[in-house]
Each structure stands twice: as C-alpha cells, then as structure tokens.
C-alpha cells in the first residue's frame, strides 16, 4: 500500500498479483439506496464514495459506524466494513473500534438528532478525548426518520408535529459545541456543494484525531428549503468561505468582510468602508479556540452570512496512541497481565450451587 495518489486522483493499493487502482464503484455496495427521492443524503454518499479511492487506503481498512436515523443507513451503502449501532451510541462504538484497532480508519455517520439528543454525551466525550475517528453529522434541523418532529438544531419557534405551537428551545450550534468540547478539527459544508464538500472530507480524513464535519443536508420531505439562503439563487452572497491565512471576505466581488471589535466579537462590514487591512485573517491552526468559536457565532443559523470551511485544525495527543503507550509502559513495569489472577484477587466468595 502507498500513501500517494495517482495523477488521476485514484487510490492505489497492493493486491495479489500486482497493483490495483480503486475507483468509486469499488466503494458502492450491492444494497438498494433507500432514501426519499431528492434527499441530500444522496449527494453526501456520492461525495464520500468518490473521495475514498483518493485516500489510497484498502477498503478493508475502513469502518463506518452509525446510530439511528436516515443518515444511519450509510454503512449499508459503503462497500467497506460497517456497523449500524443504536440511537446516539455511534461515537462510543467507534471509540472502541478505534482504540482496539488503531490500524483502521473509523468514520461515524450521524444526524443532528442522533448525535445531539440521546447521543450528546457520547459526541462531546469522543471529541474531548481526541479519539482518532471522523464524525460526519448530517444536519437537516429535523427528525426525518420518525416523520418530522423538531430536533436539537431546529430553530426557536419551529412548528412541527411535536411542537404545534412552535419550539420554545434554544437550538444547539453544532460547531460551537464541537469547539467547546476541544475538538481538534472542526469544519462545515453542505450537501450539494460539489467542490467544497469533497475538499472538506479529504481534510478530515488527513487529520489525526477527532475530526468533526457538520454537513447541512436538506430534508425535502419534512424541512425542505431550510438552507435555501445558502444553496438557492443568490445564496452565494451568504457563503463565507474560510481560508487559512487569508482575510475573511465574501459577497458580490468580495465586497463584504469580517472584523473583530474591541470586545472580541465579530462584525460584518463593507470592505470599502474599513479597508482590507482591518479584516480578520483566518487562522485555523490557532491553538486557542476562542476566535474559531466567535466565527461559529457569526450567524445564528443558515439564514444569514454563514461561515463554511475549516474552523479549527490543530494537533493534540491522540487517545488511542496514549492508550497504547500506557499499556506498553504498564507491561514493562509489571510484566504480562494475568486475567485469572486479577479475577481472583481481593475478596472472593465461593457460592455453592443449589
């Protein structure tokens, strides 16, 4: 196996009898894809299947883990190893896989309800520990599989089957939550972005540690048009693409920009009024996540200028590496473990059978 990619963007792996070039078709399973026609999940699946060959990693080295929800059918459609878990527990299952088999490339596919409701603790602790896995969260701001109830990312006032008079709750900002959990890689993109989405997936794949990618995904049945301010006609003016080392500019002819005010908050301005030298220069490698957090708060939701791209990409010790090192040092100091001795140590009792 080689870590390089061919000029055609196809992965190369060793195979019996020579070298095999992987293609997208190699990552397509024989299962019928069962999402509603027009669902944004189709575009995400196509992007992932297209990116996988370019990583130059054998299929048997990938594991896709999911929980419950429309997005969680994903492992069935990938011709790799996979596991369809239970509601919200995908990060916990994936943590076990990544810790036990550090040679594998572990991906979690989850939704806003699956990850942030019952799975909230598993989500934040996987990021806090910096487990070597990639979490793709499909955010459609609704519960789709269970037919249209409000989710932890639904906007305040959202009228659904479970909130007929409007939701009273403040929604989660997934990027802010990931940054507050000290995630070492945090990014955002959206389903029908044919160039940006694959680029972000490749960046996440290359990251050592926990990589979190929020993907705005349209549910055309229960929450159609939730992201039209970004994806519809004229939506390009609301896409604030983050590029490391460059001033943050966007809008028609890059006429808009972002500046940092004296109190640390961010503000959108006309570049002609302040000059480019006053604009905030994006630094995704900044160790302190506070500036990235401020960027995550620039938009209250995807209805106004919204940052897209990599918010943060930093290095920190990886949980699996630290675990392996701890086990190695324990073995050197104490010798090989003895499970029977451990089980019989301390107070023990013998219980006679009736």
Q: Give the pLDDT confidence of 225-257 residue by residue, as tens digits.
A: 999 999 998 899 999 999 999 999 999 999 999
Nearest CA to 308 out of 354, 243, 233 is that of 243
pLDDT of residue 12: 53
Residue 14: pLDDT over 80: no
Q: Which residues contact 85 (CB under 8 A, 6 or more apart)?
A: 65, 66, 67, 68, 72, 93
Residue 133: pLDDT over 80: yes
- Encoding tokens for residue 81? 């190893």
* Pick from 177-181, 200-204, 241-245, 332-336: least confident: 332-336
pLDDT of residue 9: 42
Residue 5: pLDDT over 50: no
Region 327-350 average pLDDT = 82
What is the Cα Rg of the chain in Å?
Answer: 22
pLDDT of residue 331: 83
Count Cβ neighbours within 10 Å for each residue of 283-303 and write b for 16 or more, e otherwise: ebeeeebebbbbbbebbebbe
pLDDT of residue 6: 35
Confidence grade of residue 158 (pLDDT, cut at 50, 70, 90): very high
Determine if the pTM surpasses 0.75: yes
Could you say which architecture CATH assigns to the domain 12-246+282-328?
3-Layer(aba) Sandwich (3.40)
pLDDT of residue 13: 55
Q: Are 45 and 79 in contact (CB under 8 A)?
A: no
What is the chain's mean pLDDT, rounded?
92
In the chain, CATH 3.40.50.970 sits at: 12-246+282-328
Region 126-155 average pLDDT = 96
- Encoding tokens for residue 338? 């003895």
Beta pairing class for 306-313 and 239-242: parallel
pLDDT per position as a tens digit, 269-288: 999 999 999 999 999 999 99
Nearest CA to 138 out of 53, 42, 209, 205 is that of 42
pLDDT of residue 295: 98
pLDDT of residue 16: 44
Q: What residue has token string 């301005």?
A: 269
């Amino acid at each position: 196996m080689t870590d390089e990619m061919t000029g055609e963007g196809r992965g190369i792996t060793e195979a019996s009898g020579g070298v095999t070039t992987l293609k997208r078709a190699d990552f397509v399973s024989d299962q019928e894809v069962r999402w509603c026609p027009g669902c944004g999940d189709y575009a995400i699946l196509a992007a992932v299947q297209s990116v996988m060959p370019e990583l130059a990693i054998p299929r048997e080295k990938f594991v896709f883990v999911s929980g419950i929800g429309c997005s969680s059918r994903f492992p069935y459609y990938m011709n790799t190893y996979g596991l369809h878990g239970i509601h919200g527990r995908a990060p916990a299952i994936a943590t076990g896989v990544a810790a036990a088999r550090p040679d594998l490339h572990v991906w979690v596919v989850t939704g806003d309800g699956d990850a942030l409701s019952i799975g909230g603790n598993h989500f934040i602790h996987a990021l806090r520990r910096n487990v070597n896995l990639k979490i793709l969260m499909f955010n459609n701001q609704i519960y789709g599989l269970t037919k249209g109830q409000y989710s932890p990312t639904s906007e305040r006032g959202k009228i659904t089957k479970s909130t007929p008079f409007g939701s009273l709750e403040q929604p989660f900002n997934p990027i802010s939550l990931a940054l507050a959990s000290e995630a070492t890689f945090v990014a955002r993109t959206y389903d029908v972005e044919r160039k940006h989405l694959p680029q972000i997936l490749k960046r996440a794949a290359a990251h050592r540690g926990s990589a979190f990618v929020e993907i705005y995904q349209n549910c055309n049945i229960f929450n159609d048009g939730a992201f039209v301010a970004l994806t519809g006609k004229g939506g390009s003016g609301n896409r604030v693409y983050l590029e490391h080392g460059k001033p943050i500019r966007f809008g028609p002819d890059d006429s808009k920009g972002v500046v940092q005010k004296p109190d640390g908050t961010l503000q959108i301005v006309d570049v002609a009024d302040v000059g480019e030298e006053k604009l905030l220069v994006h630094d995704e490698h900044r160790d302190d996540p506070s500036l990235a957090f401020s960027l995550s708060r620039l938009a209250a939701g995807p209805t106004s200028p919204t940052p897209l791209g990599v918010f943060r990409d930093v290095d920190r010790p990886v949980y699996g590496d630290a675990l392996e090192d701890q086990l190695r040092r324990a073995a050197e100091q104490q010798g090989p473990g003895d499970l029977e001795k451990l089980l019989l140590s301390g107070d023990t009792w013998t219980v006679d059978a009736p």
